[in-house]
Amino acid sequence: MPELVDPILVAVLVLNFRLLGTSRLRTAINASAMQGALIGLLAVVMHGALEPRSTFIGIVAFIAKGLIIPILLNKAMSEAAIRREIEPYISFVTSLVLGAVATAAAVLFADRLPLAPEHVGSLLVPTSLATVLTGFLLMVTRRKAITQVVGYLVLENGIFIMGLCLHDAMPSLVEVGVLLDLVVAIFVIGIVINHINRDFGSLDIARLDTLKE
Amino acid sequence: MLLIALILLPLLLAVAAFITPSERTRPWMVPVGAVVELALVVLLLRQPGDPAAFGGWVVLDKLGRIMLPLVCILFTACAFYVPAYLRLRPERPNRVFTAMLLTFLSMMVLITISHHMGLMWVAIEACTLATAPLLYFNHNRASIEATWKYLLIGGVGIALALLGSFFLAYASLASGLHASLLIEDLVRDAPLLSLPWLHTAFIMLFVGYGTKMGLAPMHTWKPDAYGEAPGVVGALLAGGLTTGAFMSILRYYQVCAAAGEGEFAREIMVVIGLLSMAVAGVFMVGQRDYKRMLAYSSVEHMGILMLGMGIGGLAAFGALLHVINNALTKGALFIAAANIHRAFGSKTTDGVSGALRRVPISAGIFVAGFFAITGSPPFGPFLSEFTILRGAVEAGRYGVAAAFLALLFVVFVGMGTTVLAVVQGKTPADMPSTGFHDSVGTVGPPLILLAAVLVLGLWLPSELETALRAAALMVETGK
């Protein structure tokens, strides 16, 4: 099944652009869910034969990133009764252009890094870097708390792909640590979102501006 | 065995605190836990060599022998302030607060003794999450905003640090070595590591853990978080968590140095160190909020630590000494500031004046702490900052030394104006009184911390000096 690796990575890259170009929060959450599910799948198929450890991690990632977290986010969204990312700090077209530049930069940069023999010619490292940069872009250019959390998820997806490159070499504690932290972080952030929503009557983080010089 | 107990004991106590029903007895579990932990640390320090557990994942090495007791001493002092503080805040439930403080202790200890980059990362992440409810203790708009920024900016920093750790592991994979994140393996194989990956890894880790340390320009969460957190939490963050993040950067620096790339890392450290001092200086001048002022002072001192390590040699020794001085002084300052805040119900110079009359001991500690942290003799930070300066001159970095002195002066003036406005003068009659007065519980802990800083300025025990030199050598050469 390793022949599936590159198609999955291409799909991950396409989803990055889907995320950058949409104003609908539901679309963004679903795109990040699909990306998370694909990455879980990636962990399973990467090693050819079905190997227990990577299959387990793949399934955990699939459930956490593809199901649980999107459900939590969708729930937070309906409670807050907001649907769209209105007025991001930069327009959606500009985000897409910047996303394209970031992806190109990631490919060029990854090309300069020496790779282990098993990763030469694969899209793993460039996709990882491009996804990390997309996550960053989402976090700094969007105003809604939920979109920022989605950005953080995308960032972590990129890091997870990098972690997969090291799958054989590193004990699973680190990978599980990633997932655990993700769930906990989102959980904590979710609670905070609830409080922000209750106290400020909005999920617009631009209203969080009392603390400044 | 002891190493495992050090991590498990506070965790078990955290669970115990969480299920304890009484709001009055629960806070006392924090000092009890701290004292037992400190006793275990003393026992552990008496073991020779580098005690290890979990197949080398957890080791008390030369650097840990300084940082572990430091973190525990600071925590113990703060822990004795906790019951007094929570008695002043009977309206807030303290179940989560006490449980998270003990979890924080466990994870801080784990940072100082973990010898596996992945484990260290997990510990720092856990510390970050454990402190979020502590920051949010007041449950008001400002504390939500501060917690949100802390989680989001800190989360990105943590994410970058993880990516950097992966890159570091890949650096050995790319050179055909067995990938490992154990420090022993990394330092041993350092000369063989793939350089492009090593450089990228160091930059990512530096930015990532630098965000947690609060180095400029990644410091933006710090004034908000320290400004809104209860004073005792500010003390633990400014003295404890930043120390842990600094230590993580040193671990990676150690690998870089062993790879012969120390110069690359040191240049970044000097630039960011001076930048942090400059940014802190700019925001301290005219700062009216004295808790935010302390946050910028923390940014400044993180810059000093980086500058010292970046210059290297004698200055690296000075930087390690400064970690101790900074942590203890910050502890005293934050708690004293919290007392003044309690006494006036305001944390800006508009609402506070004449603190020396209303809370003489707390205000006295605040002034003495100000002189200590700005590097006035005879306090400890004078000694460590002077050592860093001497290190810069010895290394022939005259420009850096001059910039260092100039920035210290700017900070002294900026901070002094705010501190004097808080403590001097008469309290206007219309300034509301909160009924808070100095008591043993609220001024004892900061007095002890301040006394320790004073002693360190007058007399540096030779054992400590030897230990510091050994740790600096280990960081700079990997041995």
What is the reported pLDDT for A115? 84
Contact B335, B233 (CB under 8 A): no
Of A114, A196, A205, the CB nearest to B196: A114
| Contact state of A173 with B223 under an 8 Å Cβ cutoff | no
**Band of residue B143 on the pLDDT scale cut at 50, 70, 90:** confident
Q: Report whether pLDDT(A83) > 80.
A: no
φ/ψ (deg, to 5) at A144: -85, 140
pLDDT for B173-188, tens place per residue?
888 888 788 888 899 9
Give the span between the Cα atoms of B64 and B55, in whole angstroms.
Answer: 17
What percentage of chain B reaches a pLDDT higher than 70? 100
Encoding tokens for residue A53? 């450890």
pLDDT at B146 > cutoff 70: yes
For residues B329 and B372, is the Cβ–Cβ distance under 8 A? yes
User: What confidence tens digit (pLDDT) does each residue in B249-270 have?
Assistant: 999 999 999 998 889 999 999 9
Domain count, chain B: 1
A4, two tokens: 């599936």
Contact B13, B102 (CB under 8 A): yes
Q: What is the pLDDT of residue A91?
A: 86
**pLDDT digit string (tens) for B300-353?**
999 999 999 999 999 999 999 999 999 999 999 999 999 999 998 888 888 888
pLDDT the model gives residue A173: 52
Alpha helices, H only, B190-261 = 195-213, 221-228, 231-236, 242-258
Region for A13 from its dihedrals, namely left if φ exceeds 0, alpha if ψ lies in -120 to 50, beta otherwise: alpha
Residue A77 in tokens: 């969204």
Looking at the complex, does the CB of residue A79 fall below 8 Å from at least one CB of chain B? no
User: What is this structure's pTM?
Assistant: 0.92
Quote the CA–CA distance of A132 and B166 in Å, as a whole number.
13
What one-character DSSP code corresponds to residue B240?
A: I
Note whether ipTM > 0.85 here. yes
Looking at A120-124, B94-98, B392-396, which range is the least confident one? A120-124
Average pLDDT value for chain B: 91
Q: Provide, as residue numbers in chain B, all residues whose Cβ is less than 8 Å from the Cβ of A153.
A: none
Supply the pLDDT for residue B464.
93
Question: Cβ B159–A156 below 8 Å, yes or no?
Answer: yes
Question: Over the stretch B272-308, which tens digit does the pLDDT of each residue have?
Answer: 999 999 999 999 998 899 999 999 999 999 999 999 9
| A204 interaction partners in chain B (CB closer than 8 Å) | none
Phi-psi label, residue B348: left if phi above 0, alpha if psi -120 to 50, beta otherwise: beta
d(CA B207, CA B140): 31
**Which amino acid does the sequence have at B219?**
H
State how far the Cα of B231 lies from the Cα of B387, in Å rounded to an integer: 30
| Mean pLDDT of the residues in chain A | 81
- Chain B residues touching A170 at Cβ < 8 A: 118, 169, 179-181
> Taking CB atoms and an 8 Å limit, are A116 and B174 in contact across chains?
yes
Confidence of residue B31 (pLDDT cuts 50, 70, 90): very high
**Which phi and psi angles does B116 have, rounded to 5°?**
-125, 125
pLDDT at B73: 96
- Give the SS3 label for residue A166: coil
User: Mean pLDDT lowest for which of B93-102, B144-153, B287-296, B331-340?
Assistant: B144-153
d(CA B278, CA B377): 23
Chain B: closest CA distance from residue A27 (Å): 22
Task: Report how far residue B245's alpha carbon sits from residue B214's, in angstroms, rounded to the nearest whole number.
Answer: 9
pLDDT band at A65 (very low <50, low <70, confident <90, very high): confident
Distance between alpha carbon B306 and the CA centroid of its chain, in Å?
13
Beta carbons of B125 and A152 less than 8 Å apart:
no
Share of chain B residues as helix, strand and coil, in percent rounded to the nearest 5: 80, 0, 20
Q: How far is CA B341 from CA A84, B151, B344, B362, B437, in A?
A: 42, 25, 5, 10, 11
Minimal CA–CA distance to B174: which of A84, A118, A42? Answer: A118
The answer to whether residues B224 and A211 touch, using CB atoms and an 8 Å cutoff, is: yes
**Segments forming the whole domain that contains residue B450:** 2-477
